[in-house]
Structure 1
Amino acid sequence: MRKIITAFAILLSCMAFSQIKVLPTTPLERLGRVGTNDVYIQKEGTQYTFFYKNIENKDDESIRNFTFKNIDNDFENFYKIIMDGFNANPIYDIKLELPNDYVWLHYTKTTSKLTVQFMTTNKVTSSTGVSEMMTIEDVKKLFEKS
């Protein structure tokens, strides 16, 4: 009888510790940024997330983001789309559909500079956001291009 109780106690203690499971994680890598965290990119495996301060409402300086996976070299294609927009004549906005968001690349030409900003709408929550204006140099810095 003692052996049965001891075996049961050992089995019970093993079951109690088996509730915790270590899951594999993917390291986060922070890529380029513009300003003091006004716009930055974070990479997790094949997923890229763009974070930006929302300037749409000055009272609410929340951080917004949009995400996509790097399927078929989408990260480089996104960079190329932005850069091609700077060279377009006439200048026009570009609307992109991502898995969870719509992203507009809004180009503006001031007296001496051409800038772009992200304007996003989340498909589920319908929340919107607008990033700071970025020059060509800022975009190159964001995507870590020389």
Structure 2
Amino acid sequence: MRKIILLFTCLFGISAFSQIKVLKNESVVEIGKDNSVGLYKKDDKFTINYQDLNTANLNTFRSFSFQNLNKDVSGLYELIINGFIDSPSSNIILELPNDIIELHFEKNYGQPTVQFIQYINKNRKYVGKSQFLNKKQIDKIFGRQNGKSAMYEKPSSTNAGSAGASGSKDKKTKK
């Protein structure tokens, strides 16, 4: 009888302490990176990471994220490139779901540059600033040099199969 009680106690103890779950490993894809600024994609969410130059501790990294709903990644890239061509008189202010981002354009050594200024949680008290970036660096970050800019509009793998199948049926019926 003691052995049976001991066995049940051990089995109950094992099941009570098994609280660790194995989660699905979701990968983050690097679109592009230059020095301490990078653009990453996870599903349809894009994140820009940067080293915050506004803090005394140079090991502080910050990020801001947004969905690519209306080709927003391409739109941000075009906005920055247009700012290099025709420098705006003041900062361009962008409102994201969690943050406010300002694009600050300035000429450094005669070359147009841009800096991301982040108001964290839309609070003007907490500010993060990236390094100044030139056009070549922006092209690298947005994947224009390595061909990864094609990943902006790439559908997720779950939707790709059904869209491809219906697209091929449409072509057959038209012929």
| Structure that is richer in helix per residue | 2
Shorter chain as denominator, the TM-score bin is 0.7 to 0.9
Distance 2:134 2:88 in 1: 17
Distance 1:49 1:137 in 2: 20
Structure 2 residue aligned with 1:60, among 53, 57, 63? 57
Query: 5+ residue gaps in structure 1?
Result: none
- Superposition deviation, residue 19 in structure 1: 4.5
- What TM-score do the two structures reach when normalised by structure 2? 0.67
Contact preservation (8 Å) 2:93, 2:101: yes
* Residue in 2 that maps onto 1:76: 74
Using a 3 Å threshold, how does the CA distance of structure 1 residues 89 and 115 change in structure 2: closer, same or farther?
A: closer
1:52-104 deviation line (CA, Å, top 9, x unaligned):
111123x2211111111121221111111111211225554211000111111
Contact preservation (8 Å) 1:103, 1:119: yes
1:28 aligned onto 2:28: yes
Structure 1 residue aligned with 2:105, among 97, 104, 107? 107
- Superposition deviation, residue 41 in structure 1: 1.6
Q: Spell out structure 1 runs of 4+ moving beyond 6 A.
A: none
Using a 3 Å threshold, how does the CA distance of structure 1 residues 14 and 99 change in structure 2: closer, same or farther?
A: same
Query: 5+ residue gaps in structure 2?
Result: 146-175
SS of match in other structure, 1:140: helix
- What TM-score do the two structures reach when normalised by structure 1? 0.79
SS of match in other structure, 1:76: helix
